[in-house]
Amino acid sequence: MGSPLASTPKALLLDLDGLLLDTVALPLPLTLKPSRALTPMHQVLGLAVPPEQLLAESEPLMAARWADAPLLPGAMRLCRHLVSSGVPFGIATSTPRATFAAKMSRKHELRAMLAERPGAVVVCGDEVARGKPHPDVFLAAAEQLGVARGRGGAGGRAQRHAAQGATAAGMRVVVVPSLVGADADYGAPDPSAASGLVQLLPSLLAFQPASLGLPPFGDLLPREPHPGGGVIPMDRLVRIRGAVVKGFGRGSKELGIPTANVDPAVVAAALAEAVTGIYAGWARLGSSPTVYKTVMSIGWNPFFANKHKTLEPWILHTFDKPFYGERLSLLICGYVRPEANFSSLEALVERIHLDARVSEAALECEPLAAMRDDPFLRE
């Protein structure tokens, strides 16, 4: 991933919203500080009661909704890995302490790892004098971890001001942008920088601790080294069912790879928030008793610059005829790699075949192999 870092980080500081928790999926008023959300609402509606009263009356409802914020892909994997490998880490968040408690109230394992284990460090926005983009929350967390300025790393996703705050604290920063196309807001990463942006990733699933000199993940399948890298077993399986429709006609004609396209309406409903990339899984056509291995892309396909997110599975089996209109059931259970652009059509085709080979090998391994018997694929 470019030039190596000058030294291994002594600890990692993680943002909360947008990196571990998907608070972006919650209604806008819940993702803003209460004063910022309720004051303009009060003005627009011309309410007689002051914003402070609105806050007092809505706070219990807001607390309940915070508990519903879903985990982002790769969040539990990263936290489990940091705990099991003994890497010091903490949370540096703008979230007030009471709201942090609300967000953790139904996430027992995550709460235990972030806030209840021995030596846990969580610094909240209402516990420092200045919020992001000032460095206060990062410096306070680093101090609690016993890490000298400039010897830590920070990961964030929610806003540019988090990256600015970590940089001002002298930290090396890994950013996962919240929005598609937001990479330009951060500039080009410099993997060898002593502070500032060192990596810009499409999702936490693409993060490789070994690139920072930290212990590598140990969950890639197959266990043996593979030219295609490896497949990450997913914490949350994705089950999707829809009709096979005619797509762009590129799979067979241009690539020599007979991909299927799933009804765009089904994709929009089920995968609107899905991390783009290449995935492995199992597929069943219609009422056939056979379940097939499959590799698929979810995203915009940078090489062809799609305008809409698509789901294009390549069922790893040779069929006698097209199956347009057939019901396709997909169980998505492994992450292969991020989407990428390629310098040539030949390079794209070569990589797709490599994705297929590593997916086939991974799907022979547990726990992915047993997922072919998932009840969803037998309905």
Q: What is the pLDDT of residues 40-63, one digit of tens each?
A: 555 666 666 665 666 566 666 666
What lies within 8 Å, CB to CB, of 54 at 6+ separation is: 38, 41, 42, 47
Helix (H, G, I), strand (E, B) or coil at 368: coil
Which tokens hold the place of 106? 């139904």
Name the residue ranges covered by the structural domains of the chain: 11-26+68-212, 221-378
What angle, 0 to 180 degrees and rounded to 10, lies between the N-to-C axes of helices 160-168 and 136-145? 60
DSSP per residue over 97-137, as a string?
HHHHHHHHTT-HHHHIIIIISTT--EE-GGGSSS-TTSSHH
Q: Is 277 left (phi over 0), alpha (psi -120 to 50) or beta?
A: left
Phi, psi of 129 (to 5 degrees): -70, -40
Superfamily of domain 11-26+68-212: HAD superfamily/HAD-like (3.40.50.1000)
pLDDT digits (tens, 9 = 90+) for 310-361: 888 999 999 888 888 899 999 999 999 998 888 888 999 999 999 999 999 9
Catalytic residues: 15, 17, 312
pLDDT digits (tens, 9 = 90+) for 278-309: 999 999 999 999 999 999 999 876 545 555 67
| Model confidence band, residue 254 (pLDDT cutoffs 50, 70, 90) | low
Q: Is 290 left (phi over 0), alpha (psi -120 to 50) or beta?
A: beta
| Model confidence band, residue 227 (pLDDT cutoffs 50, 70, 90) | very high
State how far the Cα of 379 lies from the Cα of 255, in Å rounded to an integer.
33
- Could you tell me if 129 and 139 are in contact, meaning their C-beta atoms sit under 8 angstroms apart? no
pTM: 0.84
Name the class of domain 221-378: mainly beta
Element (H, E) at 42: helix 34-45
